[in-house]
Every structure is written in structure tokens, then in C-alpha cells.
Chain A
């Protein structure tokens, strides 16, 4: 019978292997160097192409284009929120006719490109000029701005309806039943119990939808609305100066990043009571 004559003396663990120079690190440094060169190159380009005459001429136009973009997006988001309410009611209705119509509406506006919808409204409705003149609506549909608002509102209403429906359905049934047990009526149940919980779920998708609209709103430039992209296109077609597009990109990135951070802050703030 054999047994250990003596214990193995305790030893300190082997030294940690120092992270060596790996392929990943090389790639990372090359990638960062690339971004650094791009960044420095851009700053150098913008400095060397800086032309006070152009800035005086196009600067105010860019700001007005920015205003047009923001107005367009905020108006259509608010109107879209209003339109989405009956759509949600239709989607959640047990009546097959209402739910069918609402489903077809949502499917159409979510399944086709925004730019095609815009063309359908702007060019397509122009063809019904005589009928529209007869009902006195031609003045409204002649303006590209109004067509853009209409198309964007209907588009975002379809997306917002799905967000709202998903959020309402994420609230457990027991919450409805509890409200009923307390003798509240439907409006009270929705207003006091369901919507406050649903809105927290819907907050992040709503933020994403606003960002998508800001990005999507660039297509109005094609139907001659002078938003940020429209002003950029005009400035480029007159100067053939590539910095016009760079500035537009900077503006868009700024808006989107600011909105994203504001939304993150808002979400943290509104869900404080859910933190454990």
C-alpha cells in the first residue's frame, strides 16, 4: 500500500499571463488610427474649405432647413399620435371588420417605403385635381409641405399604433380585472391603471420612432420641400462643394445624438421607482 509520504508544499499560483500583443490589438489600433485620420482630415478639410462668403450665404439657409426638419417631424409625430388612437382601437377590436381595416392600414404603411407613399400622395393626388378642386381641397394638396405632413402623419401613425398596441398588451390582464373589481369604468381603467404602465414600456420604442422620423424626413427634399437635406442639395448644386454634405451630416448626427441622450435620461428618470 502506498501513500503520500509528504504533503506537497503550498505554492503561489502561476503568474497571470500578461496580455500579449495580439492580432486584435493591432487591428484595433489600425482602426482607431483610421478614425483619427478621418477625423483630422475632416477638420482640416472643413477649415481649409471655410469660406466666409459661403457661410454668410448658406449658413442661415441651413438653420432654416433645420427648423423645417424639426417642425415637420414634431407636427407629424403629434398628429400621428392622435391618428394612432383609433387605429389601436381598431386593431384591438373584436369586430373583424374594424380589426381587418386597421390591420390592412398598418400593414400597408409599414410594408411600403416612405418615399413611395410620399410620391403616391404628392404626384398621385395631383391627378385628381378636378375632383379636389370641386371639394375645395386642391389648395391643400397642391403644396408639397402639406402632402409631406399627410404622408408622414399616416406613416408614423401606423408605426405608433403598433407600439401602443404592444405596450397596452404587455400590461397583464389582472390589471384590467383589478380595475373592474374596484368598480372603475373602462375610461378610468385605461387612464389610471393601464396607460401609465403601458407608457413606460412604450417610451423606448417611441424614442426610436422619433429618431426614425428625423432620419426618414430627409426624403421630403425630393419633392422640393427645403428641409435640411433640401437646402444641402440646393447648396451643393450651386457650389459643387462637398463640405455642404459634411455639414448636413454633422447637423443630423448632432440632433440624433442629443435626442438619444435626452431619451436615455428621460427613461432613467421615469423608471426610478422600478429600480431594485
Chain B
């Protein structure tokens, strides 16, 4: 029991400071991926409801590919693909030598691409739930395209899409654990190192699972708060 408490302490003999660093890395990676993934997802959703056939098709291809690939494989494709691409580019300019790709960046790209593919579907169905009268009303008021979007459509879109996006955020949080495979010092990797050194695998992987649960609980509290906030304007019947 004493040993367990020592292992779980902050300080030179404990692993908690390393694991808490991993906690911050996991949270940071998910937070850094979110805006990037949402932005691409939004553009994809716009493309999917465009009148231009080529644009719709291109967005569909993107979604099919990145929704169908396992997240782990996408991560490997991005990680090794970037590595090889970078080396080839260097060779092209006559420079010899490889380079380590930053695993945070590779993870952010891979997870962001997957997140955007899924979020585009959520946003698309939210777009479809907004009646055409809203666009016509904005047009009648003389609003332009951008202002219609920001003042009329987006506030409603957020409200409709939030539950779906909340689910995707939970999935994103869990998917960040995969990036530990390419060496990012997140919760899982730090717990794995602690487990290997201290030979207390069950303890440390259990702690890792509890920390992921903590992240999930914190986010669900936050998401329901945001949901209440955006629902203020809804007409109560």
C-alpha cells in the first residue's frame, strides 16, 4: 500500500507528475485538433450541399476515404507518409538525410482529417434541418452571403449540431490515445513507461483509464453547459 502511494505521488519517486503531463498533452492534442477538424468539416459540409457536381463528388470521396480507414492506419499513413515525403523533397534538392516528424503534428493532422470527415456529416444534416425560409428571410432583409451565414444560419446550426459534435469530441478524446503509438508522451504512453519501470501495469493502466474517464466527465459537463447556453433563445412551448 505504501509502495502504491509512493508510486502515485508527485515527486522523484512517484509517477504522477509525468502522468499529469501526459494528461495535459492529451487534452492539448484534442483541443488543438478541434478547430482544425471543425473548419475543414464545415467547408466539406458546404461543399456537399453545393450545386456544383464536382465539388459534391470531391467532398464525398474525402469522407468515404477517411471514414472508412482505421484511425490507427490513417495515423501511420500520415506519419510515415510525411517522413517519406519530406525525405524525397530533401533528396530532390540534393540534401541527404532523414528527419523525425513531430508526433504531435502528425497526430493533429491524422485526427483532424478523421474528425473533419465525421463532423462534415453532422454539420450537413444540421444544415438540412434549417428551413429554406431562413435563407429567404435573410435575402429579403438584404443580407449578403457571409452575413446570412454568420448572423442567421450559424447560430441555429450550432444549436442543432451540438449533440452530434459533442459525441465526436468524445470520440476524438479517445482517439488521441492512438498517438502514443508514434511516441507522443500522452496519458497512455506515460502510464506505459511507468508500468514498465515499476512493474505495476494494472495500477498504471487503470489510472490511465480513470484519467480518460475524468476527461470524458469534464467534457460532458462543459458540453451540457454550452447546450444550455445556446438553448436560451429557444421558444419554450
State the A residues within 8 Å of B (CB): 19, 22, 24-25, 27-29, 31-32, 34-35, 107-108, 111-117, 119-120, 123-128, 214-219, 221-222, 229, 232-233, 236, 242, 245, 248-249, 252-253, 256-257
**In whole angstroms, what is the CA distance A262 to B90 when docked?**
45
Is residue B68 contacting chain A, with contact meaning CB distance below 8 A?
A: yes
Mostly, the B contact residues are helix
Asked if B55 and A27 make an inter-chain contact with CB atoms under 8 angstroms apart, the answer reads yes
Asked if B54 and A107 make an inter-chain contact with CB atoms under 8 angstroms apart, the answer reads no
Asked if A108 and B213 make an inter-chain contact with CB atoms under 8 angstroms apart, the answer reads yes
The residue in chain A whose Cβ has the minimal distance to the Cβ of B187 is A116
**4 further contact pairs, Cβ within 8 A, besides A28-B50, A242-B80:** A29-B54, A35-B61, A114-B174, A116-B209
Asked if B70 and A242 make an inter-chain contact with CB atoms under 8 angstroms apart, the answer reads no
> B68's contact among A27, A107, A232, A253, by CB below 8 Å, is which?
A253
Interface pick from B8-16, B146-154, B192-200:
B192-200
**In whole angstroms, what is the CA distance A16 to B176 when docked?**
51
**In whole angstroms, what is the CA distance A52 to B73 when docked?**
25
Asked if A115 and B206 make an inter-chain contact with CB atoms under 8 angstroms apart, the answer reads no
**In whole angstroms, what is the CA distance A60 to B69 when docked?**
21
The residue in chain A whose Cβ has the minimal distance to the Cβ of B83 is A242
Contact (A119, B205) CB under 8 Å given A32-B58, A35-B61, A222-B181 = yes
Which residues does chain B contribute within 8 Å of A31, judged by CB atoms?
47, 54-55, 58-59
**In whole angstroms, what is the CA distance A35 to B57 when docked?**
10
**In whole angstroms, what is the CA distance A228 to B52 when docked?**
38
Which residues does chain A contribute within 8 Å of B201, judged by CB atoms?
119, 123-124, 126-127
The residue in chain A whose Cβ has the minimal distance to the Cβ of B208 is A116
Which residues does chain B contribute within 8 Å of A229, judged by CB atoms?
70, 72-73, 76
Q: Mark B212-228, 1 if CB is under 8 A from A, else 0.
A: 11001100000000000
Asked if B58 and A127 make an inter-chain contact with CB atoms under 8 angstroms apart, the answer reads no
Is residue B202 contacting chain A, with contact meaning CB distance below 8 A?
A: yes
Which residues does chain A contribute within 8 Å of B195, judged by CB atoms?
123-124
Asked if B216 and A111 make an inter-chain contact with CB atoms under 8 angstroms apart, the answer reads yes
Q: Mark B146-187, 1 if CB is under 8 A from A, else 0.
A: 000000000000000000000000100011111011000001
**8 A Cβ contacts from B71-120 to A:** 71-73, 76-77, 80-81, 84
The range of chain B's interface size is 35 or more
Asked if A120 and B205 make an inter-chain contact with CB atoms under 8 angstroms apart, the answer reads yes
State the B residues within 8 Å of A (CB): 47, 50-59, 61, 64-65, 67-73, 76-77, 80-81, 84, 170, 174-178, 180-181, 187-188, 192, 195, 199-202, 205-206, 208-209, 212-213, 216-217
Q: Pick the most buried of A28, A232, A233: most chain B CB atoms within 10 A of its CB.
A: A28
Asked if B50 and A257 make an inter-chain contact with CB atoms under 8 angstroms apart, the answer reads no
Contact (A257, B177) CB under 8 Å given A24-B50, A28-B52, A119-B188 = no
Which residues does chain B contribute within 8 Å of A218, judged by CB atoms?
70-73
The residue in chain B whose Cβ has the minimal distance to the Cβ of A246 is B77
**In whole angstroms, what is the CA distance A122 to B169 when docked?**
27
Contact (A28, B53) CB under 8 Å given A35-B58, A116-B208, A116-B209 = yes
Which residues does chain B contribute within 8 Å of A252, judged by CB atoms?
68-70, 73
Which residues does chain A contribute within 8 Å of B176, judged by CB atoms?
113
Which residues does chain B contribute within 8 Å of A257, judged by CB atoms?
64, 68
Which residues does chain A contribute within 8 Å of B208, judged by CB atoms?
116, 119-120
Asked if B202 and A120 make an inter-chain contact with CB atoms under 8 angstroms apart, the answer reads yes
The residue in chain A whose Cβ has the minimal distance to the Cβ of B213 is A111
Asked if A249 and B212 make an inter-chain contact with CB atoms under 8 angstroms apart, the answer reads no
> A34's contact among B58, B77, B187, B205, by CB below 8 Å, is which?
B58
Provide a sorted-by-A list of 21 A–B residue pairs whose CB atoms are within 8 angstroms: A25-B52, A28-B50, A28-B57, A32-B54, A34-B58, A35-B58, A115-B177, A116-B177, A116-B188, A117-B209, A119-B208, A123-B195, A124-B201, A124-B202, A127-B201, A215-B68, A218-B70, A249-B77, A252-B69, A257-B64, A257-B68
Which residues does chain B contribute within 8 Å of A108, judged by CB atoms?
209, 213
Which residues does chain A contribute within 8 Å of B188, judged by CB atoms?
113, 115-116, 119
Asked if A127 and B69 make an inter-chain contact with CB atoms under 8 angstroms apart, the answer reads no
Q: Pick the most buried of A25, A27, A115, A214: most chain B CB atoms within 10 A of its CB.
A: A115
The residue in chain A whose Cβ has the minimal distance to the Cβ of B178 is A115
**In whole angstroms, what is the CA distance A123 to B47 when docked?**
46
**In whole angstroms, what is the CA distance A216 to B175 when docked?**
10
Asked if A249 and B73 make an inter-chain contact with CB atoms under 8 angstroms apart, the answer reads yes
Which residues does chain A contribute within 8 Å of B61, judged by CB atoms?
35
